[in-house]
Structure 1
């Protein structure tokens, strides 16, 4: 019953936003130059599909964000775990990460273009800067919340430090890590679009910037909505994955 109620409320909230959008645009309270109608946005979708650019842009952007996110995560997980379990590792990485993570990734775009041109490597670099350093800190925090008694049991059983990290800390912290991945995936979309706005010849961000030049507000709104829709879908996929992998955690949250 709770799931059904949640679903109804979620759908209702979207319908309310759609209704308000329709009222203010179809009644001409807002000029279409500033905000297109829902119908106008759908027409823009049809035009981009006919031009053969819509699915290409979606595919290119999704490939870039997936690769950038995977590269960041492959490095962030082991480094974050080691920071949580080794004082020496923490001393090496914490000042460096603390310094760089406050530097806005957007500020590196000119340098990234100089170093990598406008290739996909440039997009991956911006994604890495935007995601990796924040992700490391969050994963380290996930590992630090592991019950100390579990680690002590590992010592009692004669586990090596590496075995404790892999077999106890990693498994115990994995639910928190999946939540971290869900959060940082959303950040990755933001940094990808920023990179595509400045240095790209295809992709959703590039299409939004191109539409701005020609005052095609309907295509701007379309690009924003498509990004939001993909973000929502992938966010729900992470939530589903969490429920499938850690059903006991889901029950704990429900009781809490």
Structure 2
């Protein structure tokens, strides 16, 4: 045979055949997961409680007056949209949550940055924040009505109180997690305190700060119902409380689901913003 046509066996030459990459297990600790498996697991996580809810309702294990089925809630939700001013309730609740959360963020961010960077600021700020954050926000409702009246300011103030003090402490903790080596390196290169704070500490802490915003935004929605107790005549929380008086559990379910979806949408928007601003963390 010609040498050009002769097949050389890997066994004869001692060469090794390339090994196939072992399939990656999905349930490894902190392992990666593709988009399709992630979506499948997400659908499973959402569908399971809905199916269990439908089973309990249709099997009459729990009376429908206490637990209406998904179809009953959907019909009530459509009636709310068509005849009961859902758009107005949605708009006013979004406005209250946004104002309360943004006002809390604007004040809490610089305070948290100071408390996490300078020990004297920590000593001044954190004990007071720790003291007040244990006071239930609902206990401030009578005071807000006395101080702010029964208008929108009192409702926004309740949401502010429910988020501000925890936000300051969490921001300060995020700032303290910045590696000291980065600060020392900036000091070695002659950076001023202002430059170190705004060009080293804040950019390094920014991913954790945005994650804290995602968490505290959920608290803002939690305190919405509390805020709308204050002499409200509109809003999602007010609609839920009104439905409670008339034992309209299907509308209560509908209102809770709407608030959950709104919170989920805002959370995913902040998550997308996190990926867009800090893509290097996703690659890591």
Query: What TM-score, normalized to structure 1?
Result: 0.94
Summarize deviations over 1:67-114 as a string: whole Å, max 9, x none.
Answer: 110000001110001111112211211221111111111111111112
CA root-mean-square deviation: 1.3
* Counterpart in the other structure of 2:90: 58
Q: What is the aligned counterpart of 1:138 among 149, 161, 170? A: 170
Task: Assess if the C-alpha contact under 8 Å between 2:112 and 2:168 holds in 1.
Answer: yes
Report how far residue 66 of structure 1 moved.
Answer: 0.8
Between Structure 1 and Structure 2, whose CA radius of gyration is higher? 2
| Match for residue 223 of structure 1 among 255, 262, 267 | 255
1:23 to 55, 59, 66: 55
Q: Matched residues in 1 for 2:198 and 2:65: separation?
A: 56
Shift of 1:52: 4.8
Is the CA contact (8 Å cut-off) linking 2:156 and 2:227 kept in structure 1?
no
The structure, 1 or 2, with the larger RCO (C-alpha pairs under 8 Å, 6+ apart) is 1
Q: Which runs of 5+ in 2 are unaligned?
A: 1-32
Which consecutive residues of structure 1, in runs of 5 or more, have no partner in the other structure? none
* Alpha-carbon shift at residue 118 of structure 1 (Å): 2.2
Task: Measure how far apart 1:214 and its partner are.
Answer: 0.8
Contact (CA 8 Å) 1:101, 1:133: kept in 2 or not? Answer: yes
Structure 2: distance between partners of 1:123 and 1:130: 11
Give the number of the structure whose residues are more often helix, by fraction. Answer: 1
Structure 1 window deviating more from structure 2 (173-182 vs 18-27): it is 18-27
Check conservation: 1:197, 1:208, Cα contact below 8 A. Answer: no
Tell me the CA shift for residue 31 of structure 1.
1.5
Q: Could you say which residue in structure 2 is the equivalent of 1:211?
A: 243
Alignment partner of 1:125 out of 128, 141, 157: 157
**Does structure 2 conserve the Cα–Cα contact (< 8 Å) formed by 1:211 and 1:219?**
yes
Is 1:78 the counterpart of 2:121? The answer is no
Residue from 197, 210, 232 that aligns with 1:165: 197
The 5 A counterparts of 1:6-21 are 6-21=38-53
In the other structure, the counterpart of 2:142 is 110
For the Cα contact (< 8 Å) 2:155–2:230, is it kept in 1?
Answer: no
Which deviates more from structure 2 when the two are superposed, residues 63-72 or residues 232-241? 232-241
Q: CA deviation at 1:145?
A: 0.8
